[in-house]
């Protein structure tokens, strides 16, 4: 687990690999150096469209390209995709045009840029749009694989990537990664921790702490928030009987919200949600932010015990 | 003039110190705007450093909120905050957040960081001033990359429609944005003609020549028949040789050696 990488780099690698398909085009809004679409731009300037600092225009240019048979990948910071939310809703999702939007620098883990750059609501808002696939991978390898799979999808998508490095988890395990299928990274029957993005490695560490206390946790990387892997959640309810969700996102509407929505309409089970407690972020180092937001490893471990205590 | 130039030099030192200590942040657009900010605060703005919320103050909106080191530097020199506060730039709990924030830092009138929002906010502030029969002026600093945002032009059109003579823009025309030169990212063709055609008073100056800057600011303060814009031709990273006109220093900090060189060039240390 020592190798580290930033998921935005996985996105950049995937675009380069996808370049052999002449229908793949890349759209930028003056953040290609940050989202990592710059590698594609360097290799294929003729298929890269600079939209300047104009996110709203970018998304609908993508819609026009998709309607003409192209496969557009558009990226900017997660937060700035949100400026084009209504374009995404009415011009992309409603006509079901396969524009693939990547929002990098998601979450408070983004760090010292501060609250204006730390999107904590992207997963929630995109999840409310019909037709849109919503992804938030945890490492560079899964980001690369999921991005490559998106190119074959006929639906629009939103994928959040992160600015800072996290452990690489899936080297040599590429075939386990499928849109819509959560991945069990560790198995136990006391409690299940369902996480996404940078919180997956935090959750694995929490499981280690719990194991030292004799508590055996399952850890799931739920890289796809929509469509949600409801089969897997049912299985976790049956095998563990208590759940925790962990995300670097507002506690409202994200992964915790998605799992809660599923549970209330199926089998109820105790659920504790770890996430940003309905507040904006601030400037701080990535690791400091997880502490300030109370979403780091010890908080996940404590939530696991609370969920277990609520089992009937 | 010499006093203003010395003020701007000290601000440049603060800017370099901040991004060096934080090893992050935006020196390029801070150094291009700083001569304008120094002159604006010293010669034009009616503000009270010891009463930052004074209702009838002129408003200043740094719409390109990433260029916060420049703003923190002048706020410290004016006495809104202390020079020690500058050490809190990008530090957890510090008042000098990565992007200027009105909830965190005295003297900051708008929480920016998302480009293309400040002119609309400035328009609201200008209408408020008019409704209250106040003589206060509103100044909004925009980046040239920033004016690629469509929302800027919604505000530009609306401000002229409402004949907001108390609304003023200073455009930091440094020809560079995030990834590269504007010319590569998005050509903007005739910028003065665009603003004129939107109904604005337009004046162009050299944004590093103090006497031209002072003249230009007087133009903003006196042309009150409609909104006015001062297009200041600047150099991104101005004042530090290796940062000047170099897109790499939009959002990158100097290393140890580069820091020493910057202090030498700014006359803080002698060779
Ligand atoms: C809406 C939005 N999109 C993208 C960004 C990311 N970004 C930060 S600074 C910048 C370039 C700004 O260029 P310019 O306005 O010319 O500023 P300056 O050169 O004066 O620093 C970009 C794209 C942002 N802050 N807001």
Closest CA to A285 of A114, A100, A52, A103: A114
pLDDT recorded at residue B270: 87
From chain A residues 9-68, the ones with a CB under 8 A of any chain B CB are 28, 30-34, 38, 50-54, 56-57
Question: What is the model's pLDDT at position B76?
Answer: 98
Q: How far apart are CA A60 and CA A77, in angstroms?
A: 17
Residue B206 is predicted with a pLDDT of: 98
Q: Over chain B (271 residues), what is each successive 10-residue block's mean pLDDT?
A: 97 98 98 98 97 97 98 98 98 98 98 98 98 97 98 98 98 98 98 98 98 98 93 98 98 98 96 78
CB contacts of A285 in chain B (<8 Å) are 92
Contact present, A197 and A146 (Cβ < 8 Å): no
**Domains A4-167 and A183-309 fall in the same CATH topology:** yes
Average pLDDT over residues A56-65: 98
Q: How far apart are alpha carbons B117 and B110 in whole angstroms?
A: 10
Sign of CA dihedral B233, B239, B241, B243: negative
Rounded to two decimals, what is the model's pTM?
A: 0.97
Question: Over the stretch B92-135, which tens digit does the pLDDT of each residue have?
Answer: 999 999 999 999 999 999 999 999 999 999 999 999 999 999 99
Domain spans of chain A, in order of start: 4-167, 183-309
Would you tell me how many other CB atoms lie within 10 Å of the CB of residue B172? 28
Q: What is the dihedral of CA B105, B108, B110, B112, to 10 degrees?
A: -70
For position A139, what pLDDT does the model report?
97
Active site residues of A: 55
Within chain B, where are the H helices?
A: 2-22, 27-39, 68-78, 118-131, 150-161, 182-185, 191-197, 210-222, 256-265
Pick from B65, B115, B185: CB nearest A50: B185
pLDDT at residue A1 tops 70: no
A50–B22 CB contact, under 8 Å? no
CB A12 within 8 A of CB A47: no
Write the Ramachandran bin of A167: left for phi over 0, alpha for psi from -120 to 50, otherwise beta: beta
Ligand 1, residues at Cβ distance < 6 Å: A 30-31, 53, 80, 83; B 26, 28-29, 32, 64, 66-67, 113-116, 143-146, 172, 174, 176-178, 236, 250
Cβ atoms within 10 Å of A45's Cβ, excluding its own: 11
pLDDT of residue B223: 85
Other CB atoms within 10 A of residue A125 CB: 19
Distance of alpha carbon B247 from alpha carbon B236, whole angstroms: 8
Q: How far are the Cα atoms of A163, A164, A244, A246 from residue A34, in angstroms, in the given order?
A: 8, 11, 32, 25
Multiple choice CATH, A4-167, 3.40.50.980, 3.40.50.2300, 3.40.50.970, 3.40.50.360: 3.40.50.970
pLDDT band at A29 (very low <50, low <70, confident <90, very high): very high
What does chain A come to in residues? 312
Rounded to the nearest angstrom, the distance between the alpha carbon of A115 and the centre of ligand 1 is 16
Q: What is the pLDDT of residue B54?
A: 97
Shortest CA distance from B187: residue in chain A: A52
Say if the ipTM goes beyond 0.90.
yes
Supply the DSSP symbol for B201: E
φ and ψ at residue B246, rounded to 5 degrees: -120, 110
- Whether the Cβ atoms of residue A184 and residue A216 lie closer than 8 Å to each other: no
Ligand 1 geometric centre to CA of A98 (Å): 28
**Record: fold of A183-309:** Rossmann fold (3.40.50)
pLDDT at position A142 over 70: yes
What CA–CA distance (Å, rounded) separates B95 from B89? 7
Report the pLDDT value the prediction gives residue A51, as an integer from 0 to 100: 98
Q: Give all domains of chain B, ordered by start, each with its CATH number.
A: 2-265 (3.40.50.970)
Residue A130 has a pLDDT of 98
- Measured CA to CA in angstroms, residue A37 lies from A10, A30, A78, A99, B210 at distances of 10, 10, 14, 15, 40
> Shortest CA distance to B231 belongs to which of B269, B191, B180, B188?
B191
Instruction: Work out the pLDDT band at A291, boundaries 50, 70, 90.
Output: very high
> Which is nearest to A193 in space by CA: A267, A303, A309?
A303
Closest CA–CA distance from residue A48 to any residue of chain B (Å): 11
Name residue, tokens 């900090």.
B253
Give the pLDDT score at A312. Answer: 82
The answer to whether the Cβ–Cβ distance between A114 and B99 falls below 8 Å is: yes
CA of A31 to the centre of ligand 1 (A): 9
């Amino acid at each position: 687990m020592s190798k580290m990488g930033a998921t935005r780099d996985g996105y950049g690698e995937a675009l380069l690999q996808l370049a052999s398909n002449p229908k793949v085009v890349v759209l930028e809004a003056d953040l290609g150096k940050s989202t990592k679409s710059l590698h594609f731009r360097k290799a294929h300037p003729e298929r890269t469209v600079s939209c300047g600092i104009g996110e709203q225009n970018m998304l609908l240019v993508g819609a026009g390209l998709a309607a003409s048979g192209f496969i557009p990948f558009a990226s900017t910071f997660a937060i700035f995709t949100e400026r084009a939310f209504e374009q995404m809703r009415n011009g992309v999702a409603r006509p079901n045009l396969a524009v693939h939007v990547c929002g990098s620098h998601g979450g408070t883990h983004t760090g010292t840029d501060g609250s204006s750059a730390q999107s904590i609501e992207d997963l929630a808002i995109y999840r409310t749009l019909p037709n849109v696939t919503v992804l938030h991978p945890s490492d560079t390898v899964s980001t690369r694989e999921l991005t490559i799979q998106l190119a074959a999808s006929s639906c629009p998508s939103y994928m959040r990537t992160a600015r800072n490095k996290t452990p690489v988890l899936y080297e040599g395990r590429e075939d386990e990664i499928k849109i819509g299928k959560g991945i069990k990274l560790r198995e136990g029957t006391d409690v299940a921790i369902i996480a996404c993005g940078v919180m997956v490695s935090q959750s694995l560490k929490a499981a280690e702490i719990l194991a030292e206390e004799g508590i055996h946790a399952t850890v799931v990387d739920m890289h796809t928030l929509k469509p949600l892997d409801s089969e897997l959640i049912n299985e976790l309810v049956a095998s563990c009987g208590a759940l925790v969700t962990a995300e670097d996102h507002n506690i409202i509407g994200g992964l915790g919200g998605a799992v809660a929505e599923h549970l209330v309409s199926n089998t109820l089970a105790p659920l504790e949600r770890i996430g940003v407690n309905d507040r904006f972020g601030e400037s701080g180092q990535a690791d400091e932010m997880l502490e300030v937001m109370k979403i780091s490893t010890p908080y996940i471990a404590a939530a696991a015990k609370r969920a277990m205590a609520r089992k009937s | 003039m010499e006093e203003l130039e010395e003020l701007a030099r000290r601000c440049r030192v603060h800017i370099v110190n901040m991004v060096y200590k934080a090893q992050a942040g935006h020196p390029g657009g801070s150094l291009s705007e700083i001569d304008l900010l120094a002159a604006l605060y010293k010669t034009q703005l009616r503000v009270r450093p010891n009463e930052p919320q004074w209702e009838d103050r002129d408003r200043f909106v740094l719409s390109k909120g990433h260029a916060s080191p420049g703003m923190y530097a002048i706020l410290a020199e004016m006495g809104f905050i202390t020079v020690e506060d500058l050490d809190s730039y990008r530090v957890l709990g510090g008042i000098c957040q990565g992007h200027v924030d009105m909830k965190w830092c005295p003297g900051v009138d708008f929480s920016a960081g998302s480009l293309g929002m400040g002119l609309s906010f400035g328009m609201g502030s200008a209408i408020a001033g008019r409704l209250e029969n106040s003589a206060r002026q509103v100044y909004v600093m925009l980046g040239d990359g920033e004016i690629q945002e469509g929302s800027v032009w919604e505000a530009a059109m609306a401000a002229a429609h409402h004949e907001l003579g108390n609304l003023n823009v200073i455009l930091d025309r440094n020809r560079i944005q995030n990834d590269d030169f504007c010319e590569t990212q998005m050509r903007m063709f005739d910028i003065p003609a665009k603003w004129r055609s939107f109904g604005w008073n337009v004046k162009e100056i050299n944004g590093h020549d103090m006497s031209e800057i002072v003249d230009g600011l007087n133009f903003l303060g006196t042309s009150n028949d409609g909104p006015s814009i001062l297009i200041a031709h600047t150099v991104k990273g101005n004042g530090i040789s290796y940062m000047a006109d170099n897109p790499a220093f939009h959002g990158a900090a100097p290393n140890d050696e580069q820091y020493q060189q910057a202090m030498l060039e700014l006359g803080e240390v002698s060779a």
